Structure 1
Amino acid sequence: MLVQLKSSDNHQFSAYRCHNPGAKKGLVLLQEIFGVNQYIKEQCELFAQEGYDVIAPALFDRAQVQVELGYSAEDIQKGLELRAQITQEQALLDIQSAIEALGHQAVGVIGFCWGGTLSWLSACQLQGLSAASCWYGGGIAENKDLQANVPVQMHFGELDHSIPSDAIAAIRLSQPAVSIHVYPEADHGFGCSHRFQYQELAYQEALRSTLAFFQEHLRTV
């Protein structure tokens, strides 16, 4: 269901929430550059079925509300234009609001593409998190020297030219405590079944790893 949130700078925005009545753990799920579209909603529902109270903040609301893009060249260009209108600081304010809205003792964050980078930044800069899973975040390498406050895992595709092997190696060198998974024959966006880059085996392996990671680190009393 759609809910309304407010950030500390009084920005009001929407979020897609899948509330599992029995959930004792929360999860903030961060979008790609395509908005809170069908894929993001499906991922929210998947994690809710796994026992999480899930919320996906509509980070594009600062530029345009109700953005749900597809994966055509035109949609990619539109998504890049929208992302350029939102500062990193603004996105993090909205993510912090989503963390607080969940109200759980244990909250994780997971993000894909742009959201993967924001998951890493959230792990380093925000309060109230217990763990972060970052899927093919293209901006992680340039922020590799930040220090995470919570356990972090990362997932990359070996064939992802936007995140080459030397960038992943640099992240490994700077972040020896981070669990980094690289999937052969997987490209950028391998976890999205709506994209031609979808790679079923890599997605299932990354999902299993993510669920096990959160099971380990999102502990409640």
Structure 2
Amino acid sequence: MSPSDSVASWLQLEPRRPGQVPLRCWWARPAVSAPRGGVLVLPEVFGINGWIRSVTQRLAEAGYAALAVPLYARTAPELELGYGPGDLALGRSHKERTSTDQLLADVALAADWLQPQLPAPAAGLGCVGFCFGGHVALLAATLPAVAVTVDFYGAGVASGRPGGGPASLELVPLIGGTLLCVCGDGDPLIPPADVAAIATALSAANDARVLAAVPALPHGLVLLEGGHGFMCSARADHRPEAAEQGWSLLLNSFEQVLGAPGGLGRA
């Protein structure tokens, strides 16, 4: 598909349950054909900026209905930043004001809205997140609606969780679908000890699934050559080759679970 084969626009989602707030999302989907799956896109600390919108557009061009979800809906619902030092400081200041319960409530609202937009039967939703959004993607993977998640360089999952509490990695056993974590081998925000902790958590969850005969694809961890933010073409540490490898891993994960073009996906 090409950009002319997809459409995109801002979309306001209204709360459906207690604890939810309005969400200003970016919505991209195929213009003519029915989407072959739905994907939640969780942004970096910089909000739903031009690069995140380009990711949703690229997913739409690949045949998916993609919804970018704001992570600061309570403190900065329309945040859209660049990648300078001041932008980073502002984005991190809002990140420190989030909580796991609120983030999961917001992603659940987006998932509840997205599911009816898809042709039935659907194998569940995909989820992809970058940076802080990658951390939140691991949390979102515990939602029943999410069947496959790709977490790009989600820092901090081995040391805590938004709003405080034990490491988010402790929630991996609650993930019903498939989780793929993709990190840069030189990422200063995900040191070797954290990479080892992620590998251990995913391996233990896979072993438990085998013992319980759970029919799900195994979780995985992939290291690519690069630092933090290598997927993002707007960042100084962008690595084009690693970004293309990451994009291939993303599409392959979604196709395995949500289905290839013309397929219905895996249950």
TM-score (norm 2): 0.79
Which of 3, 6, 27 matches 1:17?
Answer: 27
- 2:236 is aligned with what amino acid? F
Provide the residue aligned with 1:38 in structure 2.
Answer: 50
Percent identity, aligned pairs only? 26
CA-CA distance at 1:181 after TM superposition = 0.6
Provide the residue aligned with 2:228 in structure 1.
Answer: 188
Runs of 4+ in 1 over 4 A off after TM superposition: none
Unaligned runs of 5+ residues in structure 1 are none
State the Cα deviation string for residues 18-60 of structure 1 (Å, max 9, x = none): 0224203100000100000001000000001000000011222
Which of 53, 64, 69 matches 1:57?
Answer: 69
- 2:13 is aligned with what amino acid? L
Give the superposed CA RMSD: 1.3
Deviates more, 1:78-87 or 1:42-51: 78-87
**Alpha-carbon spacing, 1:152–1:10, altered in 2? closer, same or farther (3 Å):** closer
3-state SS in 2 of match to 1:59: coil
Provide the residue aligned with 1:118 in structure 2.
Answer: 136
Pairing 1:132–2:149 present: yes
3-state SS in 2 of match to 1:61: coil
Tell me, in whole angstroms, the C-alpha distance in 2 between the residues paired with 1:170 and 1:85.
26
Tell me, in whole angstroms, the C-alpha distance in 2 between the residues paired with 1:216 and 1:46.
18
Unaligned runs of 5+ residues in structure 2 are 1-8, 159-166, 207-218
Tell me, in whole angstroms, the C-alpha distance in 2 between the residues paired with 1:53 and 1:117.
22
**Alpha-carbon spacing, 1:10–1:143, altered in 2? closer, same or farther (3 Å):** closer
Provide the residue aligned with 1:208 in structure 2.
Answer: 248
Provide the residue aligned with 2:169 in structure 1.
Answer: 144
Contact 2:21–2:73, Cα closer than 8 Å, also in 1: no
**Alpha-carbon spacing, 1:158–1:10, altered in 2? closer, same or farther (3 Å):** closer
Computing the radius of gyration over CA atoms, which structure comes out larger, 1 or 2?
2
Provide the residue aligned with 1:5 in structure 2.
Answer: 13
Tell me, in whole angstroms, the C-alpha distance in 2 between the residues paired with 1:24 and 1:153.
20
Contact 2:36–2:258, Cα closer than 8 Å, also in 1: no
CA-CA distance at 1:140 after TM superposition = 2.0
Tell me, in whole angstroms, the C-alpha distance in 2 between the residues paired with 1:47 and 1:208.
12
- 2:252 is aligned with what amino acid? A
Pairing 1:174–2:201 present: yes
Contact 2:129–2:135, Cα closer than 8 Å, also in 1: yes
Q: Size of the alignment, in residue pairs?
A: 219
Tell me, in whole angstroms, the C-alpha distance in 1 between the residues paired with 2:90 and 2:79.
10
Contact 2:29–2:63, Cα closer than 8 Å, also in 1: no
TM-score (norm 1): 0.95
CA-CA distance at 1:10 after TM superposition = 4.2
Contact 1:117–1:137, Cα closer than 8 Å, also in 2: yes
